Structure 1
Amino acid sequence: MSQPSTLGELRESGWQSVSVKQEIRRNAIQRIRAGEDLFPGIWGYEDTVIPQLETALLAGHDIIFLGERGQAKTRMIRLVLELLDEWIPIVAGSEVNDDPDNPVSKHAKDLIAAEGDNTPISWVHRSERYGEKLATPDTSIADLIGEVDPIKVAEGRYLSDELTIHYGLVPRTNRGVFAINELPDLAERIQVGLLNVLEERDVQIRGHKIRLPLDILLFASANPEDYTNRGRIITPLKDRFGAQIRTHYPTDVDIELDITEQEATVPEADVLVTMPDFMSEVLVYLSFLARQSPHINQRSGVSVRLTVSNYETLAAAAIRRALRTGEVAAVPRVTDLDALTPSTLGKIEIETIEDDRDAEILGNLRKEAVRQTFRDAVDHEVQQQVIEAFEEGRVVNAGDDISSADYAALVDEVPAFASALAALGYEPGDLENPALVASGIEFVLEGLHLSKRLNKESLAGAAVYRGRT
């Protein structure tokens, strides 16, 4: 269907101008009534953050998200774009997306006055109606609001001419959504410059007092610690936001597991990569434990990005081992968990007065994550069946140098291992996959050791498991 190309055609089409907040409210109402998910791909906020966000959007409020890093604040803001109409008309050539019915810039007003119904109309997609700025100490008013353009002055315009102004990010996002990330990092004198934008809807640029009734839905994000750490949000500006919504990390292991599987990208390789559920759960427990550890700086937060990064690293470690041993399948094992140190240290801040304790702290967290996952998956009765085999003198070697076929042979030699693998969710057909069996047996052995039911001797990446008698 062709779109109107002039102001006269636009008016004849029956198009009606609405504000961006009314537009979002109208589309949100339609989707909520239809039972659609307004924020697909956002997990764990169904009963907390999302109801508050939907309410704020229906109320037409500017919103500030308060929460630690990695809590999907920016992602939710960007998803709001899906609540905008797919296309909107603007006065052709406008730098600030002028509404044909309510122009705000001198360019648009002069063009409509001269052309009338013949004023040319352009159409803007909703993907172009979003602006975002990471607040930094060197951000200036010119970046956000605008500045006199010296090139336009050099071309012969007078400084008193409004057309000499080069508009900043905020005016250029007129009739759209604008987000300022890490707002407390913005210098207080620059925050003052946003006051009129939010309330009076006018701006002042180099002596030009311009009545610019911008039509914007404004979002901001901040870390709670930033209020006293790097900066703060000035009270008059905070007062102009209609809603403050507190975000949080996942409160359930399954939710973080869903997020991880959604976000992680498994490296491409010539081998088939399979991530067992229990190994994924170990990674999630590792993040949960890190969020509770007194050795981890909790002010910096431990985001879901840690779990995602560790998931990708663990898969890569399994691929590397498979490539070196010539196996056709890569399934992460407990011995691969040592590869997580670089990806974990890159996402957390360890607090300790003693040097070189990073590896020890991370090692203890990984062991506890394995122990908790094992405890939840394998009950005492099944554990006892495996222990009885070791009480008869069974010794099992583990490590990178042990092939998957050697592990798989243990299922025939020690039938109790089949029961343990079944407890981990293995189907009968899974026992035909040696790499998958090897991962499960290593996990069972390590879980029994960490539960103090097997002895373990470690040396240079290899391990020997034996009974405690």
Structure 2
Amino acid sequence: MTQAPADTTLGALRASGHVHRTLREEIRANLLATLTAGESPWPGLHGFDDTVIPQLERALIAGHDVVLLGERGQGKTRLLRALAGLLDEWTPVIAGSELAEHPCHPITPVSRRRAAELGDDLPVTWRHREERYAEKLATPDTSVADLIGDVDPMKVAEGRHLGDPETIHFGLIPRSHRGIVAINELPDLAERIQVAMLNVMEERDIQIRGYVLRLPLDVLVVASANPEDYTNRGRIITPLKDRFGAEIRTHYPAGLADEVAVIRQEAHLVADVPDHLVETLARFTRLLRESSAVDQRSGVSARFAIAGAETIAAAARHRATRQREEHAVARVVDLETAVDVLGGKVEFETGEEGREREILTHLLRTATAETVRAQLRGVDLALLVEALDDGRVVTTGAQVSARDFLAGLPVLGESELYDEICARLGATDDGARASAIELALEGLYLARKVGKDSDGTETVYG
């Protein structure tokens, strides 16, 4: 964060050459400048480059209010929060102004009076862009006073008349003047509250208990919503939808690489989770989104895979602590712990009651098999199959250390098969090697070339 400019009066501000711009002009100019410089104003967003982002950029250049429609976990809130980066880092405001008005453009009676009385001596302070973004989660108990405003009884008690506009306490939207206000889950607002937003968004005036204030509010209203066919708690009323200049549909990442990037970016991992396990979780999530057994209207959030990665990392750390391993690395056996805790994040179709774990386990095995084919294609595992056919077994489990797992592998003579597997997956230390070889064993089991027996604590391949 840079230092705020030093100008403290309107006169000094004018002398510095400052030019007042409306909010939409400011956002448009900053967006175009960023694009001209070849930079991305949307850090941390994956999979939207050719779809959502161009639509949003066109809407902002046009100066439109925006509503994002999409299922849960599609990055709508992150996208809305990124809008603050398109504001000027510092902007001047009238010191003490309730609505953070621009010194060159006061809009409330109080600020106009002060500007007329003080002239160039009108005091100025500076506001950072982070203070110009406000966010509200729409809930059924949200009131008109919260969003628009209400009569302030304390101001009336001070001796002002009820007809005096200075008795009004402004709500979130007026207080976001010269900034962005984001409303998450807009359909959850009661319809009468949505009606109260109509004048603010179109005529830019405020109506509070009989008051009509012609305040030229300069505010960008953005919102997020789940598609109406899923959100049964409410809907966006037609007149309000009409006032949003752009309605943009978001989506889950279209490519596997974007899915993996989201997991890596968002997950807070307490142990190493190798790439092949992250890929497995990404494939697992994508299979759930395609499954006819899952209610696709509710979607399968990106948080599902993120929580899965954090869970298997925690399982690895738990094992490393119990077995006194220096380096905690997740293995295939830890994927089962994700199934144990993530079922509640998925909504299944009616008629699938009682089969939830069976469906999750089946799709996880399918995802693991796809990862094995992608990562170990061309690796000949015949020697390992022969060793297990000869009666050797390999034991693993949630509490079997990497060292013990590696020590229990069958000797394959002078073959460098284990090294080839590890090299293919980039595994160097014991924990990573155990994870890589365990993936190969699971692949052989899923291909029905070896058997597997598990009692909940230990898993035996043979």
TM-score range normalised by the length of the shorter chain: over 0.9
Q: Deviations over 1:92-120 (max 9, x none)?
A: 11111112222111110111122122211
> Which whole-Å CA distance do the structure 2 matches of 1:288 and 1:121 have between them?
53
Structure 2 unpaired stretches of 5+: none
- What is the TM-score normalised by the length of structure 2? 0.94
CA contact (8 A) 1:90 1:124 kept: yes
Q: When the two structures are aligned, how many residues end up with a matched partner?
A: 457
Identity %: 50
Aligned to 2:452, which of 444, 449, 456?
456
1:322 paired residue number: 320
Q: Secondary structure at the match of 1:330?
A: coil
State the Cα distance separating 1:303 from its structure 2 match: 1.1
Q: Which residue of 2 aligns with 1:308?
A: 306
Would you say 1:379 and 2:377 are equivalent positions?
yes
Preserved contact between residue 320 and residue 328 of structure 2 (Cα < 8 Å): yes
- How far residue 257 of structure 1 moved from its aligned partner, in angstroms, is 0.7
Aligned partners of 2:399, 2:204: CA distance in 1, in Å?
68
Note closer, same or farther for the CA distance 1:356–1:325 as it changes in structure 2 (3 Å cut). Answer: farther
Letter in 1 for 2:304: L
Q: Which amino acid aligns with 1:421?
A: I
Equivalent residue for 1:17, pick from 1, 20, 24:
20
Q: Which amino acid aligns with 1:111?
A: R
1:373-404 Cα distance to aligned partner (Å, 9 max, x none) = 11222226523343233344433223245432
- State the partner residue of 2:279: 281
Tell me the TM-score normalized by structure 1.
Answer: 0.92
Counterparts of 2:272 and 2:399, CA distance in 1: 20
Asked if 2 retains the 8 angstrom alpha-carbon contact of 1:278 and 1:424, the reply is no
Is 1:331 matched with 2:334? no
- Pick the aligned partner of 1:160 from 159, 163, 166: 163
* Aligned-partner Cα distance in 2 for 1:69–1:2: 41
Q: Report matched runs for 1:320-469 at 5 Å.
A: 320-351=318-349, 353=351, 355-379=353-377, 382-409=380-407, 413-414=411-412, 415=415, 417-418=417-418, 421-422=421-422, 424-426=424-426, 430=428, 433-466=429-462
Letter in 2 for 1:202: D
* Counterpart secondary structure, 2:103: coil
Q: Which residue of 2 aligns with 1:181?
A: 184
Query: Displacement of 1:420 after TM fit?
Result: 5.3
**Would the alpha carbon gap of residues 170 and 461 (structure 1) be closer, same or farther in structure 2, given more than 3 Å must change?**
same
Shift of 1:425: 2.0
The amino acid of 1:174's aligned partner reads H
Matched residue of 1:71: which SS? coil
- Taking a change above 3 Å as real, the CA distance of residues 421 and 352 of structure 1, as seen in their structure-2 partners, is farther
- 1:116 lines up with 2:119 in the alignment: yes
In the TM superposition, residue 226 of structure 1 has moved relative to its aligned partner by 5.2
Q: Distance in 2 between matches of 1:4 and 1:136?
A: 41
- C-alpha distance in 2 between matches for 1:216 and 1:318: 48
1:224 equivalent to 2:227? Answer yes
Q: How far off is 1:159 after superposition?
A: 0.5
Query: Matched residues in 2 for 1:238 and 1:184: separation?
Result: 11
* 1:348 alignment partner AA: V
Amino acid corresponding to residue 232 of structure 1 in structure 2:
R
Distance between the aligned counterparts of 2:150 and 2:82, measured in 1?
A: 31
Aligned: 1:42 with 2:21: no
Give the CA deviation at 1:82.
1.0
Letter in 2 for 1:403: S
2:66 aligned with 1:27, yes or no?
no
Amino acid at match of 2:185: E
Give the CA deviation at 1:253.
1.4
1:459 positional shift: 2.2
1:412 Cα deviation after fit: 7.4
The offset of 1:216, in angstroms, is 0.9
Q: CA RMSD for the aligned pairs? A: 2.0
2: CA distance, partners of 1:19 / 1:448: 64
Aligned mates of 1:318, 1:222 — CA distance in 2: 37
Maintained 8 Å contact 1:383/1:420: no
State the one-letter code of the partner of 1:148: V
CA drift at 1:355: 5.0
Q: 1:204-227 CA distances to partner (integer Å, 9 max, x unpaired)?
A: 111111001100111011111357
Whether the aligned pair in 1 keeps the contact of 2:398 and 2:458 (CA below 8 Å) is: yes
